[in-house]
Amino acid sequence: MSVTRPLPVAPDDHAGRAAVSVADLIGAGLVLPEAEDVLTQVAREFRLRLTPEMRAVAQAGSEGVARQFVPAAEELVIRPEEMADPIGDEAHAPVPGLTHRYADRAILHVTKTCEVYCRFCFRRETVGETGHLPPAELEAALDYVAATPALWEVILTGGDPLVLSPRRLGAVMDRLAAIPHVEVVRFHTRIPVVAPERVSEALLAALDTRLTPWVVIHTNHADEVTPAAEAAIGRLADAGVGLLSQTVLLRGVNDRPEALEALFRKLYRLRVKPYYLHHCDLARGAGHFRTTIAEGQAIMAALRGRLSGPCLPTYVLDIPGGHGKVPIGPGYLRALASGAWEVMDPKGGRHGYADPERG
């Protein structure tokens, strides 16, 4: 079931604060009043938050942005193949708050808080639950990193790691910088596009340690990259921070070559290397966003004729169950006669994967 949105309206009286309820979205003209009951039910199941920056873009008429953040009744449809932990964070957690799937790098979940809650998020079951990682668990996770010499790179994620105050973030960076075998810290974040004002001088100072910082910006549509976002990305680039992007292939948002081409060109011009195009994960209630693998392959083939090599990301599938991500291409995926796929993980294991059925 879809709820038709009203026509774009002027910014509302509460433009300076985030929208955190269905009533806020109604006041902003982003959903119709008659949708309140069903969308309140959705918001009880999956958290809702929309920053002023993204709300203004949605109000200006960007369906590609609104669809990512405004709840929809379709989220109440849970398909049998969908999972609470589709990429297997918990399956590779030696201590709370840390995922160690690959030998030389680990994911540190410093927070479960985000500035926006995406309607397709693969961590939507846990984000927003308990705020930041408790001090004792953070210390245990950092102790694990210090005691594991193979760990060369630490990836800060969450939630969104850049929601941490510069003071708190700086303390984590200093602790990691004191571990001799850690050389690189990577941040996976939406902040530069959804809350660009947070990319402040204090935040940049917190990133300035002996470690090499990389920021991977999650953005899915060119409309997200507003003038304020461009300025924030420029501040990161000028500070010497390496910049990559990751994008999720989403039905109704960017599942056309033209939409992705516009996004990747804009990012490349801003000194951001498009890094990954993710096939949409099997998160609960996100089935209406998923394309088929064949559709994604066709889009990538079209983009290869339009964009230069550095402007193209790698199209990847995070194998359900925590088996790691692989490029969607020869050597990793094999089409079966049944119409499903056989996927080989990085360790040589083989797994079945079925595309969503379309009515």
160 to each of 103, 175, 324, 349, how far by Cα in Å?
23, 19, 21, 31
How many Å apart are CA 336 and CA 317, to the nearest integer? 17
Active site residue 160: no
Active site residue 105: yes
* Residue 101, C-beta contacts closer than 8 angstroms, at least 6 positions apart: 88, 92, 107, 322, 324
Catalytic residue among 49, 112, 123, 190: 123
Catalytic residue among 79, 105, 235, 306: 105
Tens digit of pLDDT for each residue in 80-127?
A: 888 788 766 777 889 999 999 899 999 999 998 999 999 998 887 777
Positive/negative CA dihedral, 108, 113, 115, 120: positive
Active site residue 85: no
Mean pLDDT of 142-170: 96
Residue 102 sits at φ, ψ, to 5 deg, of: -110, 150
Active site residue 318: yes
Largest interatomic CA distance in the chain: 58
pLDDT given for residue 187 in this prediction:
98
53 to each of 93, 226, 253, 285, 338, how far by Cα in Å?
34, 8, 18, 25, 45
Write out the H or E segment, with its range, that includes residue 38: helix 36-45
Domain residue ranges in the chain: 22-76, 90-314
Tens digit of pLDDT for each residue in 181-233?
A: 999 999 999 999 999 999 999 999 999 999 999 999 999 999 999 999 999 99
Active site residue 325: yes
pLDDT given for residue 353 in this prediction:
85
pLDDT over 70 percentage in the chain: 92
Write out the H or E segment, with its range, that includes residue 140: helix 135-146
For the ranges 89-103, 132-146, 158-172, 266-280, which has the lowest average pLDDT? 89-103
On the question of pLDDT at 323 being above 60, the answer is: yes
Q: Residue 239: name the closest of 274, 199, 269 by CA.
A: 199
On the question of pLDDT at 265 being above 90, the answer is: yes
Say how far residue 332 (Cα) sits from the centre of its chain: 23
CATH label, 90-314, candidates 3.20.20.70, 3.30.43.10, 3.40.190.290, 3.40.50.300: 3.20.20.70
Positive/negative CA dihedral, 61, 66, 71, 72: positive
How many Å apart are CA 17 and CA 349, to the nearest integer? 47
Active site residue 281: yes
CA angle 159, 310, 255 (to 5 degrees): 60
User: Under the phi-then-psi rule, with left for phi > 0, alpha for psi from -120 to 50, and beta for the rest, what region is 150?
Assistant: alpha
Q: Tell me the average pLDDT of the chain.
A: 90
pLDDT given for residue 318 in this prediction:
85
Catalytic residue among 281, 290, 315, 332: 281
pLDDT over 90 percentage in the chain: 72
- Overall pTM surpassing 0.75 (yes/no): yes
Catalytic residue among 118, 119, 160, 332: 118
Catalytic residue among 55, 89, 119, 121: 121
Active site residue 118: yes
Catalytic residue among 79, 102, 268, 273: 102
Catalytic residue among 47, 101, 119, 124: 101
